[in-house]
């Protein structure tokens, strides 16, 4: 079993039914509202553990935007508010075709924090993986390289994503746009700011979490490299390197188990040795044994296109 929902070790004691009712009530209250004097909220694009993303239109020019609104029962938690604002600071500092642009932050009239973001007309990478496992090799290489290029820019700004997964990578339908868009820097770590979470606090998505994340120890940019390795493994084989019956079981496998090499999996004879080496090096247990920056991965993937 794979686990694609972000988790923290601290238990959430919210009542699910109450949360659902609160979410529906807030949706009814917010639909049609105008934020910052120009963004009219329309339909909900998606709902997640931290809140909802709405489609909005600028009432002056008709352009579409995505608006992420923090869940009302979380909006007054100081740590969660700060994490939400870290997302804004992280994302708004980044400018790259492979990263969703973030334009503004604010509060609704009832106090919910929101972000104004670029709207991407296209599905998450997860949906493509469900349709075709694995994806064609050339397409997978191009997607992997585009992710690495976006993260390279983030890392140069001192920003680690920490929750990289197919759900957070959108694939625009318009071929004139970038190949992918990385979203959701909600638990990003800005290296020159204090860590919001406490020591030994596990934060991330179990199926894509690095061993050091799973142990709650110090992280650097190589934690994103590990997560990209898992995404590439899934792109090229249609399978995750690790599964578990519980999130804790899965985290233990990340820490202790060795993944089956790509070419030992069925129907992967089309994978060249160089490509396999790139993916498996990203999945090394110790950060020092992985590629140390995205540039190494990008160069390797470009060379694989020539095979």
CB 119 within 8 A of CB 55: yes
Residue pointed to by tokens 């923290």: 8
How confident is the model at residue 18, as a pLDDT?
Answer: 42
The token pair at 119 is 């709207």
Cα torsion at 173, 131, 259, 213 (round to 10°)? 50
Q: At what angle do helices 273-282 and 294-304 cross, to 10 degrees?
A: 160
How confident is the model at residue 10, as a pLDDT?
Answer: 31
How confident is the model at residue 282, as a pLDDT?
Answer: 98
**pLDDT 10s digit of each residue in the chain, 307 long?**
655 655 433 323 344 444 444 555 455 667 788 999 999 999 898 887 778 899 999 999 999 999 989 888 888 888 888 877 877 887 888 899 999 999 999 998 888 889 999 999 999 999 999 987 788 899 999 999 999 999 999 999 888 998 899 999 999 998 677 899 998 875 555 544 444 343 334 456 889 999 999 998 888 999 999 999 999 999 999 999 998 888 899 999 999 999 999 989 988 888 999 999 999 999 999 999 999 999 999 999 999 987 6
Per the annotation, the verdict on 61 as an active-site residue is no
Contacts for 268-276 with beta carbons within 8 Å, 24 or more apart?
268/236, 268/237, 270/137, 271/137, 271/236, 271/237, 272/304, 272/307, 274/300, 274/303, 274/304, 274/307, 275/137, 275/141, 275/236, 275/300, 275/301, 275/304, 275/307
How confident is the model at residue 186, as a pLDDT?
Answer: 56
The residues facing 70 across adjacent strands are 51
How confident is the model at residue 198, as a pLDDT?
Answer: 35
E strands in 250-297: none
Global confidence as pTM: 0.84
Domains of the chain: 7-118 (3.30.200.20), 125-304 (1.10.510.10)
Residue pointed to by tokens 């959108």: 170
How confident is the model at residue 81, as a pLDDT?
Answer: 83
Residue 98 DSSP SS3: coil
From the list 163, 220, 224, 306, the catalytic residue is 163
């Amino acid at each position: 079993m794979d686990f694609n929902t972000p988790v923290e070790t601290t238990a959430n004691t919210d009542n699910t039914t109450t949360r659902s009712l609160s979410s529906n009530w807030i949706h009814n209250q917010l639909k049609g509202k105008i934020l910052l004097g120009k963004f009219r909220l329309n339909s909900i694009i998606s709902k997640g553990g931290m809140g909802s993303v709405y489609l909005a239109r600028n009432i002056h020019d008709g352009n579409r935007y995505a608006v992420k609104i923090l869940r009302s029962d979380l909006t007054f938690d100081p740590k969660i508010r700060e994490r939400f604002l870290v997302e804004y600071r992280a994302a708004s500092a980044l400018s790259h075709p492979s990263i969703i642009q973030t334009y503004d932050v604010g509060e609704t009239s009832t106090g919910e924090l929101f972000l104004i973001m670029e709207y991407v007309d296209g599905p998450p990478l997860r949906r493509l993986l469900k349709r075709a496992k694995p994806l064609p090799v050339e397409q997978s290489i191009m997607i992997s390289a585009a992710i690495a290029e976006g993260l390279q820019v983030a890392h140069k700004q001192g920003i680690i994503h920490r929750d990289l997964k197919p759900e957070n990578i959108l694939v625009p339908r318009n071929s004139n746009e970038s190949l992918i868009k990385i979203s959701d820097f909600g638990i990003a770590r800005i290296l020159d700011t204090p860590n919001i979470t406490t020591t030994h606090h596990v934060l991330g998505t179990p199926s894509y979490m690095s061993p050091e994340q799973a142990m709650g120890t110090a992280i650097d940019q190589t934690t994103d490299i590990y997560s990209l390795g898992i995404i590439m493994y899934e792109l090229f084989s249609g399978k995750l390197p690790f599964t578990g019956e519980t999130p804790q079981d899965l985290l233990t496998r990340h820490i202790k188990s060795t993944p089956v090499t790509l070419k030992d999996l069925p129907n992967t004879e089309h994978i060249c040795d160089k490509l396999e080496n790139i993916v498996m090096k990203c999945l090394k247990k110790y950060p020092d044994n992985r590629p140390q920056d995205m540039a190494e991965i990008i160069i390797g993937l470009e060379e694989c296109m020539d095979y």
